[in-house]
């Protein structure tokens, strides 16, 4: 039987919502149903689109060959975003999970350009096999009992992806995308630990290097070191308090209006409306039962 696509997202958010504390750098879930999740809205999309605007590509398509980077991102924003990303991953680690799908499409920017981590469809407890990934977000092992796999998910795998995301932010493209390596060659170079030259920003380059070479034993130490080394660069972060009750009511109101179909519409109606619906249904049912009798009385008076 095929696994429901939201099964792991729902399992993660159930665990998340059991916690008393909140992480402002993870996309919030306000309404959770067996087949649907109502998440907080991030108006400025994934970071990949922001950086795409600074790139020149063939056919002006996001998958077109990279020609050049037209403009580089503000280091103050990069420092803020990487602090927010590593803070989110520290929190995920505290829960006993790894994200397992860290890339530029799963880092969203809200209306105030704060980074929020999303898409926990591949999240798993620490120590599971890392699957469904590839370079530059992960590295194949070349020795040991797990040779030719990406290994077990842990701080090693999470920080490696963080290093590649930070490289993307600093250099304006994914590793080796400037020379357009094909997939197999990219995998080979990463497996052989042959990484691109780092020469744009001393602090960021050092952090990328540390992540790629598995310097940090935990994501908590990644977050600590990133914050310590970028505190004088990062733009000021001001977090807004989210009114969860208001957001939950907004989600429920959309369901009541029929966004998810009639069955769930009824389920989220006020109690008095449910009774009214039930009474109406009973009247219709009694009417339908009585129809044959009425027809017989008309035909054979």
Over the stretch 219-246, which tens digit does the pLDDT of each residue have?
999 999 999 999 999 987 776 667 667 7
Residue 26 lies inside a defined structural domain of this protein: no
pLDDT value of residue 278 = 45
Mean pLDDT across 161-170: 99
Same domain as 203, residue 70: yes
Domain boundary among 230, 260, 276: 230
pTM of the complete model: 0.84
Same domain as 135, residue 190: yes
* CA pair distance 51, 171, nearest whole angstrom: 10
Same domain as 224, residue 273: no
Q: 287: domain range?
A: 244-299
pLDDT tier for residue 290 given thresholds of 50, 70 and 90: low
Q: At what angle do helices 219-230 and 75-94 cross, to 10 degrees?
A: 160
**Total of domains in the chain:** 2
Same domain as 291, residue 189: no
* CA pair distance 48, 51, nearest whole angstrom: 5
pLDDT tier for residue 5 given thresholds of 50, 70 and 90: confident
Token pair of 239 as six digits: 């977090």
CATH number for the domain harbouring residue 119 = 1.10.510.10
Domain boundary among 207, 230, 253: 230
User: Pick from 87, 79, 115: which is nearest to 204 by CA?
Assistant: 79
Average pLDDT, the chain: 87
Same domain as 202, residue 293: no
* CA pair distance 26, 15, nearest whole angstrom: 13
């Amino acid at each position: 039987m095929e696994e429901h696509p939201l099964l792991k997202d729902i399992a993660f958010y159930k665990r998340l919502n059991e916690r008393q504390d909140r992480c402002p750098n993870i996309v919030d879930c306000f309404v959770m149903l067996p087949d649907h999740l109502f998440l907080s809205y991030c108006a400025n999309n994934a970071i990949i689109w922001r950086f795409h605007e600074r790139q020149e590509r063939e056919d002006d398509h996001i998958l077109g060959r990279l020609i050049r980077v037209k403009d580089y991102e503000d280091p103050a924003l990069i420092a803020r975003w990487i602090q927010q990303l590593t803070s989110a991953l520290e929190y995920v680690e505290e829960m006993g999970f790894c994200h397992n799908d860290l890339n530029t499409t799963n880092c969203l920017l809200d209306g105030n350009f704060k980074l929020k981590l999303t898409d926990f469809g591949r999240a798993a407890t620490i120590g599971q096999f890392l699957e469904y990934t590839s370079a530059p977000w992960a590295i194949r092992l070349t020795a040991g009992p797990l040779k030719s796999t990406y290994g077990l998910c842990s701080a090693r795998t999470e920080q490696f992806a963080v290093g590649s995301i930070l490289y993307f932010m600093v250099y304006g493209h994914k590793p080796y995308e400037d020379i357009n390596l094909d997939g197999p060659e990219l995998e080979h170079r990463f497996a052989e630990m042959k990484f691109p030259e780092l020469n744009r920003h001393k602090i960021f380059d050092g952090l990328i290097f540390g992540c790629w070479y598995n310097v940090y034993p935990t994501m908590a130490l990644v977050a600590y070191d990133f914050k310590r080394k970028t505190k004088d660069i990062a733009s000021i972060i001001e977090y807004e308090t989210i009114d969860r009750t208001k957001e939950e009511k907004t989600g429920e109101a959309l369901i009541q209006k029929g966004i998810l179909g009639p069955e769930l519409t009824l389920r989220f109606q006020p109690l008095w409306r449910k009774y009214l619906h039930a009474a109406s249904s009973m009247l219709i049912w009694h009417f339908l039962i009585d129809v044959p009798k009425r027809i017989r009385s008309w035909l054979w008076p």
